[in-house]
Amino acid sequence: MNKLRSAIIGCGKMAQVHAQALKNIEEAELVAVQSRNQEKAAATAARFGAKAYTDIAEMIQQEQVQVVVICTPHPAHREAAVIAMQHGAHVLTEKPLAVSLEDCDAMMQTAAACNRKLGMVSQRRFLAPCRRIRQAIDAGKLGTPMLGSVVMYGWRDEKYYSSDPWRGSWEQEGGGVLVNQAPHQLDLLLWYMGSEMEELYGVWQNINHPYIEVEDTAVAIIRFKNGAVGNIVVSNAQKPGIYGKVHIHGSNGASAGVQTDGGSMFLPGQSTMLEAPVNDIWTVPGDEQQLKTWQSADTAEFNSGNPVEYYIRQQIRDFLLAVAEKREPLVTAAEGRKTVELFTALYRCMKTKQPVRWPL
């Protein structure tokens, strides 16, 4: 296939990771970057051998951009995506898809009207231990997933929030841990459970970040339409730092789990994924003896290069191939919307002090 002319919207920290990933993908040509901040755009463009723009439409038209990756603050996703699709580009946006269901729907409607692909970054789906759980579910090895559990503990200090002025506010970030750190694990939970959500009850708190407006901790219980249940505990107010697990328990008693993150403090400018993601429980009939072999292989793969860039690269490549092959990407906009439904329901529940039922 011909290389797809690609560009990045937003030139912050994650944009640098996505730019490096695009440079390492055979099917992509990084031709341009865009930021409202001319200096940031110029610096990123110089670093990666691309052209710098401050206007999205101009960039797409001048450079004949076919695919854009959006790396802006969350509330800006809608505007950037709509402009890009209306000018002919397919869009892959960083998580979350948006900060409101209204924004999600506007983006999805534009994608349909313009016949463009729209996807969301959720790179942990591309981790070998995460794929392995979904494959076991699809093969019926757990029966029907009936209980799902998410635990995500992290630590974000004042330096983290002050490093980017948009962090920590409802208006500029759109939420706290539910919107920024937890979507990876929330997406995995919904991907594995496979049933639509029916009811949620939850609470959120700000435990120890008085200098931000948004939540640093949230707890929720979900009931799914097929009778399954899920529980969520997420926080970025816990030392020593990054720790994430997703466990799925099936109707036949089998369990499968993944430690998606582990063992590192968050240090600005450094990876937050210093320990390899591995399957930490596996009682699937016939596969129990494979766990140590998988853990060894997955650790070796994870340590073979830059892990953050490696898995983002896999996701971007999947999206590019979806465009070329006229198929859906592994993570669709509709699936991204479900994560937004989840945290929207939890925020609504906290306001009303009542369980929230679907449809929202």
Q: How far apart are CA 31 and CA 274, in angstroms?
A: 31
Alpha-carbon Rg for the chain, nearest whole angstrom, is 20
- Does an H or E element contain 215, and which? none
Quick one: pLDDT at residue 155?
86
| pLDDT attached to residue 294 | 97
Express each pLDDT in 232-271 by its tens digit: 999 999 876 678 999 999 999 999 999 998 755 445 445 4
pLDDT of residue 268: 45
How far is residue 188 CA from its own chain's centroid? 9
What's the CA gap between 275 and 262, in Å, rounded? 5
Segment (H or E) for 185:
helix 183-193
Length of the chain, please? 360
Rounded Cα gap, residues 134 and 202, in angstroms: 26
- Tell me the C-alpha to C-alpha distance, in Å, between residue 273 and each of 13, 186, 310, 317: 16, 17, 12, 21
Question: Sheet holding 145-153: strands in order across?
Answer: 278-282, 255-264, 242-250, 145-153, 229-235, 217-224, 197-205, 356-357
Q: Say what the pLDDT of residue 266 is.
A: 47
Q: Which amino acid is at 215?
A: E
Domains recognised in the chain with CATH numbers: 4-120 (3.40.50.720), 125-305+336-352 (3.30.360.10)
Q: What DSSP state is assigned to residue 98?
A: -
What pLDDT is attached to residue 240? 67
Containing 233, the helix (H) or strand (E) segment is: strand 229-235
* Beta-strand relationship, 118-120 and 90-93: parallel
Side-chain-facing half-sphere of 355: CA atoms under 13 Å: 10
The identity of residue 228, as a single letter, is A
The single residue listed with the structure tokens 């002090």 is: 353
| Residue 2 burial by Cβ neighbours in a 10 Å radius (0-12, 13-18, 19+) | exposed
Q: What string of pLDDT tens digits covers the 360 residues of the chain?
A: 899 999 999 999 999 999 999 999 999 999 999 999 999 999 999 999 999 999 999 999 999 999 999 999 999 999 999 999 999 999 999 999 999 999 999 999 999 999 999 999 999 999 999 999 999 999 999 999 999 999 999 888 898 899 888 899 999 899 999 999 999 999 999 999 999 999 999 999 999 999 999 999 999 999 999 999 999 999 999 876 678 999 999 999 999 999 998 755 445 445 455 678 999 999 998 898 999 999 999 999 888 888 778 889 999 999 999 999 999 999 999 999 999 999 999 999 999 999 999 999
* Cβ 15 vs Cβ 44: under 8 Å: yes
